Structure 1
Amino acid sequence: MLKRLSRARDYASQAQSTAVATRETSKLTADQTERDHWLDGETKIADAPDKHGDETHLWLRLLTCTTLIETEIRRGLREEFDFTLPRFDLLAQLERAENGMVLGEISKRMMVSAGNLTALVERLVESGHITRTTSPSDRRVQIVTLTPFGHSAFGEMAERHRAWLNNLFSGVSAEERDVLLAALAKLKISVRQGLAQER
Structure 2
Amino acid sequence: MDHTPENEAHGDEPTLAVRRLKLWIRMLGVTRQVENELREFLRVSHNTTLPRFDVMAALHRRRDGLTMTELSRTLLISNGNATTVVNRLVKDGLVTRILSDEDRRRITVRLTPKGLTIFEALAAEHRDVVDDLFAEMTEADLDALKNVLRRLRNSLSDARG
When normalised by structure 1's length, the TM-score is 0.71
**Partners of 2:121 and 2:41 in 1: CA distance:** 12
Identical pairs, percent: 36
Which residue of the other structure, out of 96, 101, 111, is the alignment partner of 2:66? Answer: 101
Aligned to 2:100: 135
**Partners of 2:31 and 2:21 in 1: CA distance:** 15
1:70 aligns with 2:35: yes
Q: Which has the larger radius of gyration?
A: 1
Aligned to 1:118: 83
Gaps of 5+ in 1: 1-43
When normalised by structure 2's length, the TM-score is 0.87
1:162 aligns with 2:131: no
1:58 aligns with 2:3: no
2:75 maps to amino acid = M
Secondary structure of 2:101's counterpart equals coil
**Partners of 2:81 and 2:55 in 1: CA distance:** 12
Shift of 1:92: 0.4
1:159 maps to amino acid = A
Q: Higher helix fraction: Structure 1 or Structure 2?
A: 1
Shift of 1:129: 0.5
How many residue pairs align between the two structures?
152
1:86 maps to amino acid = P
Which residue of the other structure, out of 113, 119, 138, is the alignment partner of 1:173? Answer: 138
Q: Between the two structures, name the one with larger relative contact order (CA 8 Å, sep ≥ 6).
A: 2
1:192 aligns with 2:157: yes
